[in-house]
Amino acid sequence: MQLDDSNLPLHERLANAVEAAIATGQFQTGSRLPTHRQLAQQFSVSIGSVTRAIDTLSARGVVRGEIGRGTFVLEQGDSDDGGVVDLTVNAPPPVVPLARLNEASLMANRQALGLAHGGYVDPSGTERQRAVIADWLSQSRTALKADDILLCNGAQQGLHLAFAVLQPRSNIILTETATFPGALAAAANLGMSMAPVAIDDEGMLPTALAQALETSGARIIYTTPVCQNPLGFETGPARRRELATIARRYDAMIIEDDIYGVYAAKGRLTYRELAPERVFYVTSLSKSVTPLVREGVIAPPPELMAAVRKRLRAECWGLPPYIGELAAAMIETGLAGDAASALREEARARVALTQDLLGLGAVPMPDGAPHVWLAMDPLKAEQFARRASEAGVRITPPSATQVGEAPVSGVRLCIMAPAARATLTRALKIIAGILGSDEDVVV
């Protein structure tokens, strides 16, 4: 345990060091911290500085002092505020400890101030920023080099760029029967339309995809193969091979939205690996680390790299370079990797909790997923979303994810959205109550 060398007051640096030790498990939740005297000796500071640091940590809700007993480490973020629960936003709970973010931002500050042209760097991101995340993704998902990728503002911009660059090939994008509302919005913004392809529990059916390509003339496929949003399935390697073969046969391009790749349980084979000449690989740090640093990554087929770069430069001149530095620092300090592991662990626990409280049998991604799909007939799904909202649990209206004419038959529960697991538990009990009642809402 060491104090950082920032210019922060001593007691804050001490508080940060103790918080970092809690985050890394050196001081366990519920345990008693060493005495003020012991901490003073350990850090070579005065007892007065320790007292101020402990006051700071109490104010942050990290520890609690008990008269005559000592100072105890509190459970982080596990209290339910009792308010409306929002299960509409696919956001991960906060797993980034302040002290670790401080450490990364200090590193980012130093790097950022040294950037060329005061920060007007290459619109694709600096070579270093791209190398750091390419390396991280290579270790965890798919082989990428710095020159294969561009950094952008979230996966959302990555999708918009891919759609825009591919638009001359066809105005129709084929996708699953329900999809991410942001993808629908991006397509609509460009005057493009999305058409559904029939699915089973692994994704698009090869025969249905071939038929849709044949009859619609579409030459663009958008898919989220890991934890599809909203339907929650994962496409395994055999199905990916079949679908990639069909895409090649029809000379169709695939936009692979791997934003939930951190939860992949069926191996690492990506469409990018299968068909690099026709795949736009898109991901971001939003779901695997934190949406605070919405660094998006897009790896287009090599011959379309220049077109994507041109468009990115015209739209916004790329990711703000400070965010690129912060993301790189989060990866280099190990914070990103630890956050990803913490999210996977949390997601596994939350899926089990959801199965238990809702009495669900098998779910498509039992090892952890950020959202769970409850299948039900379309009319019931809309009613259910409305009744849940009235009971204090907000759920995205199924129609928001609808592709084509057929209404969506189910609802998505964003189980990672509540910061505290206790809040999710309360929401799931409310949902179980609604599922258990036969009352129909007149529409």
Q: Which residues bind ligand PLP (CB under 6 A)?
A: 90, 154-156, 180, 182, 224, 229, 257, 259, 284, 286, 291, 294, 296
CB nearer to ligand PLP: pick between 103 and 346: 346
Report in angstroms how near the CB of residue 153 gets to ligand PLP at its nearest: 7
> How far, CA to CA in Å, does 158 sit from each of 153, 214, 318, 340, 407?
7, 27, 11, 21, 27
Query: CB-based contacts of 215: which residues, under 8 Å, 6+ apart?
Result: none
Nearest to 223 by CA among 249, 203, 193: 203
CB 158, min distance to ligand PLP, A: 7
126 vs 229 by CB, closer to ligand PLP: 229
Cα(197)–Cα(404) distance, integer angstroms: 10
C-beta of 121 vs 155, nearer to ligand PLP: 155
* Cβ closest to ligand PLP, residue 123 vs residue 154: 154
Residues in CB range of 416: below 8 A, 6 or more apart = 90, 91, 92, 93, 343, 346, 347, 350, 370, 371
We find the least distance from the C-beta atom of residue 439 to ligand PLP, in angstroms, to be 32
Alpha helix (H) residue ranges in 171-316: 181-189, 206-216, 237-249, 271-274, 305-316
The distance of closest approach from Cβ of residue 181 to ligand PLP in the complex, given in angstroms and rounded to an integer, is 8
Amino acid at the residue 125: G
Amino acid in position 241: R
Least Å distance, CB 286 to ligand PLP, is: 4
Q: Are 46 and 54 in contact, with CB atoms under 8 Å apart?
A: no
Which residue, 132 or 327, has its beta carbon nearer to ligand PLP?
Answer: 327
When the beta carbons of 102 and 157 are compared against ligand PLP, the nearer one is 157
391: enclosing H helix or E strand: none
In angstroms, rounded to a whole number, what is the distance separating the alpha carbons of residues 401 and 389? 17
Q: Which is nearer to ligand PLP, 49 or 129 (CB)?
A: 129
Residue 237: cis peptide before it, omega within 30 degrees of 0: no
* Location of structure tokens 């089973």: 200
Compare residues 129 and 286 and give the one whose CB is closer to ligand PLP.
Answer: 286
CB of 110 to ligand PLP, least distance (A): 26
Comparing CB distances to ligand PLP, the nearer of 182 and 407 is 182
Q: Which residue has the tokens 């809309």?
A: 382
Contact (Cβ atoms closer than 8 angstroms) between residue 50 and residue 10: no
Measured from the CB atom, the residue of 175 and 383 that comes closer to ligand PLP is 175
- CA-nearest of 170, 277, 255, 268 to 213 is 170
Select the residue whose beta carbon is closest to ligand PLP and give its number.
154
State the minimum distance, in angstroms, from the CB of residue 192 to ligand PLP.
16
Q: Closest distance between ligand PLP and the C-beta of residue 264, in Å? A: 14
Return the number of the residue (133 or 155) whose C-beta is nearest ligand PLP. Answer: 155
Sheet containing 279-284: order of strands: 150-153, 295-299, 279-284, 253-257, 220-223, 172-175, 193-196
Distance CA 396, CA 382 (A): 9
Q: Angle at the Cα of 237 (from 373 to 154), degrees rounded to 5?
A: 60
Q: Least distance in Å: CB of 420 to ligand PLP?
A: 21
Name residue 410's beta-bridge partners: 375
Q: How many helices (H) and strands (E) does the chain have?
A: 15, 15
79 SS3 class:
coil
Least distance CB 58 / ligand PLP (angstroms): 34
Report d(CA 25, CA 19) in Å as an integer.
Answer: 10
Q: How far is the CB of 261 from ligand PLP (least distance, A)?
A: 11
